[in-house]
A and B are shown apart, each in its own frame.
Chain A
Amino acid sequence: QVQLLESGGGVVQPGRSLRLSCAASGFTFSSHVMHWVRQAPGKGLEWVALISYDGSNKYYADSVKGRFTISRDNSKNTLYLQMNSLRGEDTALYYCARDREMASINHYFDYWGQGTLVTVSS
């Protein structure tokens, strides 16, 4: 069965960095566009970034552009999010999510991980 397992969250001071990972299993990881979506405590969902199935194309929300970098290692079935210059407003539960359609430009999500919590605080 499809599983997405995020890790790497924690408490970090403003201005510092953190790298999140998402280990995928149960499907052909290299065939799917992957995403990071976040949810601030008690708030709604915010899309953060996507990466194409082969890693050649990446798109970001304006709120993280220039600070966050999405990447993937298809040999390890793992998705990453490098987060630099963190701010208080980045505090959220970070989910990785899979595009429902393989190698698609239609970006909606059929599987989500349980999320990893990032808290930015001094």
Chain B
Amino acid sequence: DIVMTQSPDSLAVSLGERATINCKSSQSLLYSSNDKNYLTWYQQKPGQPPKLLIYWASTRESGVPDRFSGSGSGTDFTLTISSLQAEDVAVYYCQQYYTTPLTFGGGTKVEIK
């Protein structure tokens, strides 16, 4: 199974500042035949189901604010919130879909400092 490891477990960022979340996979998520990384990011607010933010490692889902961006390739990926807003307080998860079983990172809790 592909193990997804997120860091940090939690972070506190001031409003308007940048938040950076890391996700590392135990094997490459880059499929050579199409040059795509099979990695997605979700946001989960308390009491709500997860919401899709980013897929193919860097493609923003429709309606997601452009302060959210994804980057990385192979085994190392990053979700960046360029200017943290109060409504961004949530837990963020990465997920690989390179192969089954589909696996998630352990989550990163983002709070306001």
Contacts and interface: CB of A to CB of B under 8 A. Distances in A.
Given A108-B95, A115-B49, A62 B55 contact: no
A95 B50 CA distance: 10
Contacts of B1: 62
B52 A110 contact: yes
Contacts of B95: 45, 47, 108
Given A44-B93, A44-B107, A107 B49 contact: no
Nearest to A45: B104
Nearest to A108: B40
B49 A112 contact: yes
Interface size class of B (residues with CB under 8 A): 20 to 34
B104 A46 contact: yes
A70 B103 CA distance: 18
A61 B1 CA distance: 10
Contacts of A47: 95, 101-104
Interface string A29-54: 00000010000000011110010000
A33 B61 CA distance: 19
A113 interface: yes
Interface in B41-63: 42, 44, 49-52, 55, 61
B101 A61 contact: yes
Interface in B96-113: 97, 100-107
Given A45-B104, A46-B104, A108 B97 contact: yes
Given A47-B102, A59-B100, A100-B55, A109 B50 contact: yes
The 10 closest A-B CB pairs, nearest first, are A112-B49, A47-B102, A108-B40, A45-B104, A107-B97, A59-B100, A44-B107, A110-B52, A108-B97, A61-B101
Contact of A112 (B50, B100, B102, B105): B50
Interface string A17-28: 000000000000
A109 B101 contact: no
B68 interface: no
Given A106-B38, A108-B40, A44 B102 contact: no
